[in-house]
Structure 1
Amino acid sequence: MIVVAGGSGLLGRLIVTRLQGRGERIVVLVRDVDRARSVLGSDVGVISMDVRRRKGLDAAVAGADVVISAVHGFLGGRGAGPAEVDQRGNANLIDAAAATGARFVLVSVSGAAPDHPLDLFRAKYAAEQYAQANSAPWTIVRAPAYIETWLAILTETAGSTGRPVIFGRGDQPIPFTSADDVADLVSRAVSDRRLRGRILEVTGELITMNQLAQALQEARHWNGPLRHLPRPLLRALAIVSTPVKPAFARQNRAALMMDRSTTTATHTHTNSEPAASAIEPLDGRPTLLAHIASSHEDSPE
């Protein structure tokens, strides 16, 4: 049995689909059971579980061979952010995996570091450290930004105008990957013994936000200049929204950082940590920008 925490999200659904295709028995841990069943179907076992609390987790993962964590609190509100979900929640999952003798696969982020300006990256790093110090055999998969997530954001901001909103100038190259590639690697880590005890770094493709938005416009046959939110406005929104809308503040801080630099961390590897292994997408796959065009070939003008 394989337990997938966060199995109803973008990445989680892809992981579940791949494991199902291999005939694995899957149990998904989610907070919203109805939503999970609507996107996963009736063939997947779904358990209502909040990873922020240890109570019930041991029973939920009992008998599992592997526990996969695809959870994140980036968009969580007060009390459900990275510190609570990515750090504390993953620690609870790791302890539960160790208690039942299961292997643990953690989906982390490229650039996770203890001194990163963004709380998500700090929380993921803490989870990585906790996994490495625990008795459960582990694999860590670090991934850059998912192109599917940002295409959805650009599509939403375009609305009926066909003019996506860019957060900042949009001319800074950003490493992107496809959630499909990450799901492939995670499903491989489940069964490949050679990947145990390793940090796997998914290599991203450098694309500017302007290029991404323009590729989307071309694929959707949209016209008109892109719209931009200036950096000072992003900074101000992050500050004023922190007390009342922490998730919105988090989004603005992340957008501001992505617009300023490709450097996602100030942390450097030390001898006390396993070195990360860079994983390239399979040869022969189209570039991410080419994939956008091919996936929208039949889109109406």
Structure 2
Amino acid sequence: MIVVAGGSGLLGRLLVGDLLAEGRQVRVLVRDPARARDLFGDAVEVVAADVRQPEEVRAAVAGAELVVSAVHGFLGGRGAGPAEVDDRGNGNLIDAAGEVGAGVVLMSVSGASPTHPVDLFRAKYAAEQHLRGAGVPWTIVRAPAYRETWLGILAATAGSGERPLIFGVGDRPIPFVSVADVAAVVVAAIDDPTARGRVIEVPGTPMTMTGLAHELQASRGWHGSVRHVPRPALRVLSVLARPVSPAFARQNRAALAMDTGVPSGRQPRPGQSRPAHGS
């Protein structure tokens, strides 16, 4: 039995589909069971659980041989952000997996670091360290930004004017990856016993945010110049919006980090893997 936490999300739903195609028995841990049942029907066991609640997590992973965490709190509001979900929530999953003798595959982010300016990256790093010290078979998969996520954001900001809104200058190459490619790497890591004890880095294809916006416009037959939110405005919003909308403040901080560039984070220890193949 493979338990997928966050199985109805962008990555999780593809991951579950790939596992089902392999004939695997899958249990999906989600906060919204109705959504998961709409996606998968009776093909999977759906369990309603909140990773922030240790008792719920323990019940959800009972009988599992492997736990895959595809959860994130990047868009979460107060009390449901990266600190609560990606750090402590993943900690609950890891501890529960250890209690039943299950291995863990943790979905993390490229550049995860204790000093990263974006809280999601710090929380993912904390979860990685928790997993390393938990005494369970583990694999960490780090991936860069998802193309589909940012194409969706650009499309939403374009509205009826067909002019996507770019947060910042938009001229810095950013590694983007297709979520389907990430799902394939995670499944390969699940199937490969030699992936245990490894950090697998999924590669991205560098493209500027402006280039991605132009690609979106070309695919939809849109015209007109793109628009920009200046970097100073991103800095102000990342601070002033925090008391009212932590998620919005977080998005502005992340956009600023992507637009200006940040340190790539901790390098793998000797014996860990940086290849981009998942095997």
Corresponding residue of 1:233: 233
2:168 corresponding residue in structure 1 = 168
**Contact conserved, 2:168 with 2:231, CA < 8 A, in 1?**
yes
Q: How far apart, in 1, do the equivalents of 2:277 and 2:216 lie?
A: 24
2:74 is the counterpart of 1:74: yes
Within a 5 Å distance, the mapping from 1:269-284 to structure 2 comes to: 269=267, 271=269, 275-280=272-277
RMSD of aligned Cα (Å): 1.6
Partner of 1:289: none
**Whole-angstrom distance in 2 between the partners of 1:274 and 1:111:** 18
Match of 1:199 in 2: 199
Letter in 1 for 2:267: H
Contact 1:269-1:275 at 8 Å conserved across structures: no
CA distance in 2 between counterparts of 1:141 and 1:14 reads 15
Shift of 1:276: 3.6
CA pair 281-23 structure 1, distance change in 2 beyond 3 A = closer
User: Residue by residue, what CA displacement relative to the aligned partner does 1:249-279 show, whole Å, maximum 9, x if unpaired?
Assistant: 0000000111111x453x44375x7534221
- Give the secondary structure class of the aligned counterpart of 2:54: coil
Q: Is the 8 A contact 1:203 1:281 kept in 2?
A: no
Map 1:213-232; keep pairs closer than 5 Å.
213-232=213-232
Could you say which residue in structure 2 is the equivalent of 1:3? Answer: 3
Task: Determine whether 1:31 maps to 2:22.
Answer: no
Where do residues 139-158 of structure 1 align in structure 2 (5 Å cutoff)? 139-158=139-158
Structure-1 separation of matches of 2:217 and 2:268:
43
1:114-171 deviations in Å (ceiling 9; x for gaps) = 1111111111001001111012100000000000000000111111111111111111
Count the aligned residue pairs.
279
Partner Cα distance (2:237, 2:143) in 1: 27
Q: What amino acid maps onto 2:132 in structure 1? A: Q
The change in CA–CA distance for 1:77 and 1:274 in structure 2 (over 3 A counts) is farther
Unaligned runs of 5+ in 1: 283-301
1:11-45 per-position Cα deviation (integer Å, ceiling 9, x unaligned): 00010000000011111111111122222333221
Matching residue's letter, 1:224: G
SS of 2:120's equivalent in the other structure is helix
- Given that residues 169 and 228 in structure 1 are in contact (C-alpha distance below 8 angstroms), is that contact kept between their aligned partners in structure 2? yes
| Whole-angstrom distance in 1 between the partners of 2:156 and 2:266 | 36
**How far apart, in 1, do the equivalents of 2:66 and 2:126 lie?**
21
In 2 relative to 1, CA 112–274 (structure 1 residues): closer, same or farther, beyond 3 Å? farther
Counterparts of 1:112 and 1:233 in 2: how far apart (Å)? 25
- Write the distance in 2 (CA, Å) between the matches of 1:51 and 1:85: 7
State the distance in 1 between where 2:59 and 2:104 align.
16
Provide the C-alpha distance between the structure 2 equivalents of 1:281 and 1:206, rounded to a whole number of angstroms.
Answer: 20
Percent of aligned pairs with the same amino acid: 59
Q: What is the CA–CA distance in structure 1 between the aligned matches of 2:239 and 2:271, rounded to whole Å?
A: 36
- Tell me if structure 1 keeps the 8 A contact 2:197–2:272: no
Distance across 2 between alignment mates of 1:88 and 1:192: 27
TM-score if structure 1 supplies the norm length? 0.89
1:194 shift after superposition: 1.1
Instruction: Give 1:56 deviation, angstroms.
Output: 2.5
Output the CA distance in 1 between the equivalents of 2:155 and 2:20.
Answer: 30
Question: What secondary structure sits across from 2:116 in the alignment?
Answer: coil
Change in CA separation of 1:112 and 1:207 when aligned onto 2, cut-off 3 Å: same
Unaligned runs of 5+ in 2: none
Deviation at 1:59, TM superposition (A): 2.1
Task: State the match for 1:50 in structure 2.
Answer: 50
